[in-house]
Structure 1
Amino acid sequence: MPSAAQSSEVTVLLARVRAGDSTALGSAYAAVYDELKRAARAQLRRMRDAFQTTALVHEAYLKLAGGAQLAAVDRNHLLALSARAMRQVLVDDARARKADKRGGGQDAMTLTAALGSGDAAVVEVLALDELLASLHKLDERAAQIVELRYFGGYDEAEIGDMLGISERTVRRDWRKARAFLLMELAT
């Protein structure tokens, strides 16, 4: 867990980003970089994918920096947006790899270290992404919790802090979301 000073520093940097300071996003991201690498490493280990940790974190940054105006208000919000960006990067990569397997024509640009590895991870990421979209329509907070746990690698206490809810609520919503996902996978 970061100190209050570190969290405050990120909040100030994000305020500068919202005010138009283009260099502040890089500084804010650098302040949470080690935590993002830890989360990415845990996620990729679970997936048994050859996607490189550093590449995933950097691609997530590029997604955040290249998109619409960043609206993160504090450290926790930046981490949540980064988890969502990592999800998008992994889904985009999985779709490209799947299209390549179907003879998509040109070689797809991929960030994985070894092409052809992690085929099961491709299917898992795409299936989970579709299920999360369905869950988001039913229960937005439960979908956020799944995204933060699965794609962000955060534990219940960290998620509770990020979302401003108790660990008990995180556990309850996690059980509900997991039941929904398992039910949908079984059909």
Structure 2
Amino acid sequence: MQDITHILQALEAGDLAATDQLLPVVYAELQRLARQKLAHEAPGQTLTATALVHEAYLRLVGQSAEQEWDHRGHFFAAAAESMRRILIENARRKKRLKHGGDHERVDLPEISAPALEQPDDLLALDDALTLFAEEDPQKAELVKLRYFAGLSEQEAADVLGISRATAARHWAYSRAWLYHQMRGDTDQLV
């Protein structure tokens, strides 16, 4: 995986050919991450894994002059953040009155099954995660890597440069904090 680091360094140096080299190397991993994330979305999702990967990649490489990636993990952390933002924007767009607002999408053969309110949950998670990032940026980054990028505990620990045990403790605390925040509990966790 050192190839990714070298390609990213060439991209930072202004080598436009590096853009063409980067996509084939990271595409399969980004596809896997996008499929994992979209598997948890509500039925009727119109965004495909391919579209999510392409949009995230364009946002990352399109700003290459301003980006500096230290290593492979840093790039994938940026990709996870980009995918998160795309999914949040998509959820907000679907909540707009122009795009159906509060109306539920129901497949005709499944009229009796209740539709999930996934955009509301995703927006609540984004709000809670934004607050959490102000309190503890490293733990918030762990949540982004685990939830939005679909990384395992060990993979996220490697990206953040922490031990797996620390990642496990941070993950447990983060989930509890976000759960209480999203439920509207005003008591602070100790």
For this structure pair, what is the TM-score category when the shorter chain's length is used for normalisation?
0.7 to 0.9
Q: Distance in 2 between matches of 1:39 and 1:142?
A: 20
Alignment of 1:50-61 (within 5 A): 50=45, 51-61=47-57
Q: Where does residue 98 of structure 2 map in the other structure? A: 103
- Runs of 4+ aligned structure 1 residues displaced above 3 Å come to 115-119
Q: Deviations over 1:76-132 (max 9, x none)?
A: 111111000000111111111111xx237xx9xxxxxxx948862222221111111
Q: Which amino acid aligns with 1:182?
A: Y
Q: Where does residue 110 of structure 1 map in the other structure? A: none
Q: Deviations over 1:4-63 (max 9, x none)?
A: xxx211111011111111231342232121111111111111123522011100110111
Q: CA deviation at 1:71?
A: 1.3
| Identical counterparts, % of pairs | 36
Q: Give secondary structure in 2 for the equivalent of 1:48.
A: coil
The answer to whether the aligner puts 1:47 opposite 2:41 as a matched pair is yes
Q: Distance in 2 between matches of 1:10 and 1:36?
A: 13
Count of residues in correspondence between the two structures:
170
The gaps in structure 1 that reach 5 residues or longer are: 1-6, 108-114
The gaps in structure 2 that reach 5 residues or longer are: 107-114, 185-190
RMSD of aligned alpha carbons: 2.0
What is the TM-score with the length of structure 2 in the denominator? 0.82
What is the TM-score with the length of structure 1 in the denominator? 0.83
The answer to whether the aligner puts 1:20 opposite 2:17 as a matched pair is no
Q: Deviations over 1:140-185 (max 9, x none)?
A: 0110011011110010011011111111111111111111101111
Q: Distance in 2 between matches of 1:169 and 1:31?
A: 30
